[in-house]
């Protein structure tokens, strides 16, 4: 199994191209199930999760063609054509590896009138039930049954009629599933307290490009007027705001200056606000977002929250940055109850962190030191790389399959800005 070796103490300087957003791409791909015509997605990142979702789509009889497989290509182009869907079951063997697989449920149900999807897997970062997905689809007219580890959904004869659902708590995935299902419902649907993340906006924009009629895009009150049919479209995936924020933390912890090429400041305002409070200079430029730090980092209090609040997917990376900030920082994780599994690994590198429930207190230390560490989930793996960039000596990060699910060719991108990072096979 591969591992990444990070030689700490190198100041990062230069430019890093930001890839298409993983979380957006995994929502846009299943939109191809809503039409018989081709859907072409540009700027797809080269990630294990994208490959996994492609295989899942192939399971349904969707043909996929990928351009941009050359080693020098960062973004890829995928054309998907679901002219004839040959199966409506997403099996456990494929779904268990990737939680986003549940996003085929809504579009498959809307298009075919039925869908059977295994309960999902993904990172073990706490309890992430799919009850809101199911309740929202029931509100649109579906009948749901849970049996033997699978969700079995059926629409009435004539398809989903549409309906209204008020989410008791904000759920990105449930909003996405409901949006795709509502796009092909026979009537009008209204989603209240819907998620507002930029990835939701990206999904709405693709659905509109396919012929859907959606009101309230970018707000928590979405109205979808169902269409009899949707057509194909060509669409460019938004830049990855979490990847951009991660590399911003990497630049800051080394006292470096990096241009995040293609990043959109408006999509990452909460992260930028947090970085500025920590003492990092962040400026929006025509070509992206520039991040610079002088090594003087300040302690802060941060709390994750649904968009436009601070993304839970940035918590671990910011924690790594704060391990070397002056003073004691306080982090509150409000989204997931078990997302501090990276804390013991950071402690192996000399970090001083106390946790109690969903609160972590990070006492800044003068320096970190390299160590052998193990990734526990996707964002935790990046936090360990970030810490390794500032640590004295070598840091070895193991269990890279987590990292490869969400960061496109990380070691190559870090090498562009002067980091000494190498991927090697584990002996």
Residue 99 assigned to a binding site: yes
Is the model's pLDDT at 125 over the cut of 80? no
| pLDDT for position 182 | 98
Q: What is the pLDDT of residue 219?
A: 98
pTM for the model: 0.95
Share of the chain above pLDDT 90, in %: 85
> At 122, is the pLDDT very low, low, confident or very high (cuts 50, 70, 90)?
very low
CATH 3.65.10.10 fits 2-18+239-425, yes or no: yes
Residue 275 reports pLDDT greater than 70:
yes
In the predicted model, is pLDDT for residue 126 greater than 50? no
Q: Does 127 score more than 50 pLDDT?
A: no
Per-residue pLDDT for 238 more than 70?
A: yes
Which pair of structure tokens corresponds to residue 373? 């560490």
Q: What is the mean pLDDT of the chain?
A: 94
What value does the mean pLDDT take over residues 337-365?
Answer: 94
Is 250 exposed, middle or buried (CB count within 10 Å of its CB: 0-12, 13-18, 19+)?
buried
Instruction: Enumerate the β-bridge partners of residue 290.
Output: 259, 283
* Residues whose CB falls within 8 Å of the CB of residue 415, separated by 6 or more in sequence, listed in order: 421
pLDDT classification of 405: cutoffs 50, 70, 90: confident
- Any known ligand binding at 22? yes
Place of tokens 């526990």: 376
Residue-wise pLDDT for 51-73, tens only, equals 999 999 999 999 999 986 655 56
Class of domain 22-236: alpha beta
**Is residue 166 a known part of a binding site?**
no
Res 338: pLDDT: 75
To the question of whether residue 129 is assigned a binding role by annotation, the answer is yes
Is the pLDDT score of 362 beyond 80? yes
Q: Is the pLDDT of residue 183 over 50?
A: yes
130 assigned ligand-binding residue: yes
Starting at the earlier edge strand, list the strands of the sheet with 213-215: 164-166, 188-192, 221-225, 213-215
CB 34 within 8 A of CB 6: no
Q: Is 37 left (phi over 0), alpha (psi -120 to 50) or beta?
A: beta
The residue-averaged pLDDT of 343-371 equals: 97
pLDDT at 195 over 50: yes
Partners of 42 in beta bridges:
236
Whether the per-residue pLDDT at 121 is higher than 60: the answer is no
The distance from CA 41 to its chain's CA centroid, rounded to whole angstroms, is: 17
As a whole number of angstroms, the distance between CA 71 and CA 99 comes to 28
Q: Is residue 75 helix, strand or coil?
A: coil
Beta strands in 142-197 (DSSP E): 143-147, 150-154, 164-166, 188-192
Looking at residue 259, what is its pLDDT? 98
Tell me the mean pLDDT in the region 69-95.
85
Residues labelled catalytic: 123
- Which segments of 203-327 are extended strands (E)? 213-215, 221-225, 233-236, 257-261, 281-285, 288-292, 301-303
Q: What stretch(es) of the chain map to CATH 3.65.10.10?
A: 2-18+239-425, 22-236
For residue 131, say whether it is annotated as part of any ligand binding site. yes
Q: What is the 3-state secondary structure (H, E, C) of 235-267?
A: EECCECHHHHHHHHHHHHHCCCEEEEECCCHHH
CA end-to-end distance (rounded Å), the chain: 8
Q: Is 335 annotated as a binding residue?
A: yes
| pLDDT band per the 50, 70, 90 thresholds, residue 266 | very high
Smallest CA-to-CA distance from 376 within 357, 396, 402 is with 402
């Amino acid at each position: 199994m591969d591992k990444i070796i990070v030689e700490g103490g190198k100041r990062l300087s230069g430019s890093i191209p930001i890839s298409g957003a993983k979380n957006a791409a995994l929502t846009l791909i299943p939109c191809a199930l809503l039409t018989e015509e081709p859907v072409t997605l540009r700027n797809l990142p080269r990630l294990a999760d994208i490959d996994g979702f492609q295989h899942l789509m192939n399971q349904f009889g969707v043909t996929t063609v990928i351009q941009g497989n050359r080693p020098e290509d960062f973004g890829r182009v995928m054309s998907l054509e679901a002219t004839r869907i040959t199966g409506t079951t997403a099996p456990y063997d494929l779904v268990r590896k990737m939680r986003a697989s549940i996003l085929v449920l809504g579009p498959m149900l809307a298009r075919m009138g039925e869908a059977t999807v295994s309960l999902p897997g993904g990172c073990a970062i706490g309890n992430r039930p799919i009850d809101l997905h199911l309740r929202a689809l029931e509100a649109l007219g579906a009948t749901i049954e849970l049996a033997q580890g699978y969700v079995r959904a059926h629409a009435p004869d004539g398809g989903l009629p549409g309906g209204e659902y008020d989410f008791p708590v904000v759920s990105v995935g449930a909003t996405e599933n409901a949006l795709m299902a509502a796009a092909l419902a026979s009537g009008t649907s209204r989603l209240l307290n819907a998620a507002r993340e930029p990835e939701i906006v990206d999904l709405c924009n693709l659905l509109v490009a396919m012929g859907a009629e959606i009101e309230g895009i970018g707000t928590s009150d979405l109205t979808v007027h169902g269409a009899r049919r949707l057509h194909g479209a060509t669409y460019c995936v938004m830049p990855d705001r979490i990847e951009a924020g991660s590399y911003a933390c990497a630049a800051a912890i080394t006292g470096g200056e990096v241009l995040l090429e293609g990043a959109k400041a408006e999509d990452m305002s909460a992260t930028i606000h947090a970085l500025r409070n920590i003492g990092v200079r962040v400026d929006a430029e025509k070509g992206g977002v520039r991040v610079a730090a002088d090594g003087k980092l300040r302690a802060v209090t941060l709390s994750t929250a649904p968009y436009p609040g601070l993304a839970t997917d940035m918590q671990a990376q910011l924690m790594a940055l704060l391990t070397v900030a002056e003073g004691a920082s306080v982090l509150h994780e409000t989204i997931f109850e078990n997302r501090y599994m990276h804390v013991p690994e950071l402690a192996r590198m000399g970090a001083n962190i106390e946790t109690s429930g969903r609160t972590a207190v990070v006492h800044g230390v003068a320096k970190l030191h390299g160590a052998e560490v193990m990734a526990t989930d996707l964002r935790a793996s990046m936090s360990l790389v970030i810490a390794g960039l500032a640590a004295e000596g070598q840091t070895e990060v193991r269990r890279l399959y987590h990292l490869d699910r969400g960061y496109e060719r990380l070691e190559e991108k870090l090498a562009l800005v002067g980091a000494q990072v190498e991927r090697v096979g584990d002996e």
